[in-house]
Copies of this chain bind each other. A is one copy, B any other.
């Protein structure tokens, strides 16, 4: 039986390109005792992957060359010699950019797909959702009546963040690229306002959308967006720093106005949700209940087939996706 996989075969010099990836077919070895085999239905594409493609110092070791790209997956157990997993189990894990994953069970967990769609475990009820939950509840710590803003507001993290902020009694302001995304953020997700950064007057539009300033901000983008938001932060504002897509391709976007950190007594805090596993059970429970009861909306951008994963990933880095970027495998 053959497996299809996408390998990282070279590191980007500046922007990531299709040449950095290679699709290969690999025969599957027989399963060992204690292993299981998963048919991956969906692969998650996430901005952090760009960081792993480089050798620069980061929070995780770089992705090794000529190995399967790392990535979150959901799928179904198709063969098992593992005591805790049986055929037919739906499982979430980090099985990478491949159609069939073989695992000793490390990091895999079974999920109930009867009330929550399987793909949501890669988005609103998965790592992106928990990322929003942690940034909001543990760093921003919103108080009812405050104004909370988020960049990449139509995306997997931003969409959850704004909806949770609304549920906490806050005013939610999104920043997104393009009229379509902004309309979705306000009309479907229920944000109070959304600013289109592509309109070219982000600072002014942000001021109009949040005339009393911003108390909490969740950063998914960095660069010019951050520079527009920073001067709009109110005294004692809290900024949860995540993503920073604008810097993933290696270009340097200096932050203007660092002295505002003192003048406005701001807190900026970077975090990686994988380092805070203690919140996952609580966060996933809340997020799962909200999705099951239709209180938490999400949207997916689904590429079809593993062979299209590299192109979809490059699109994600350029903001071409609309909602959580997934690849439908088999």
Contacts and interface: CB of A to CB of B under 8 A. Distances in A.
Interface of A: 51, 56-59, 222, 226, 235, 241-244, 247-248, 252-272, 275
Contacts of A226: 258
Contact of A253 (B56, B242, B258, B272): B258
A269 B261 contact: yes
A57 B267 CA distance: 18
7 contacts: A247-B259, A252-B256, A255-B256, A255-B258, A261-B268, A263-B270, A267-B270
Contact of A242 (B257, B260, B262): B262
Contacts of A272: 262, 265
A264 B222 contact: no
Main secondary structure of the interface of A (DSSP, over half): loop
A271 B263 contact: no
A275 B265 contact: yes
What is the oligomeric copy number? 2
A241 B269 contact: no
Contact of A267 (B252, B265, B267): B267
Interface centre among A57, A262, A271 (most CB of B within 10 A): A262
Contact of A263 (B51, B253, B255): B51
Nearest to A265: B270
A232 to B, nearest CB: 11
Contact of A244 (B243, B253, B258, B271): B258
Shortest 7 CB-CB contacts between residues of A and residues of B: A254-B254, A247-B259, A261-B270, A262-B270, A255-B255, A255-B258, A244-B259
Nearest to A252: B256
A242 B266 CA distance: 11
Nearest to A276: B265
Nearest to A236: B275
B265 A268 contact: no
B259 A222 contact: yes
B275 A270 contact: no
Contacts of A252: 256-257
A222 B258 contact: yes
A191 B242 CA distance: 35
Nearest to A60: B263
A59 B260 CA distance: 10
Contacts of A267: 267-270
A49 to B, nearest CB: 14
A59 B264 contact: yes
Given A254-B256, A255-B255, A267-B269, A262 B235 contact: no
Given A262-B272, A266-B270, 9 more contacts: A59-B235, A226-B258, A243-B262, A253-B258, A254-B254, A260-B270, A262-B270, A263-B270, A269-B269
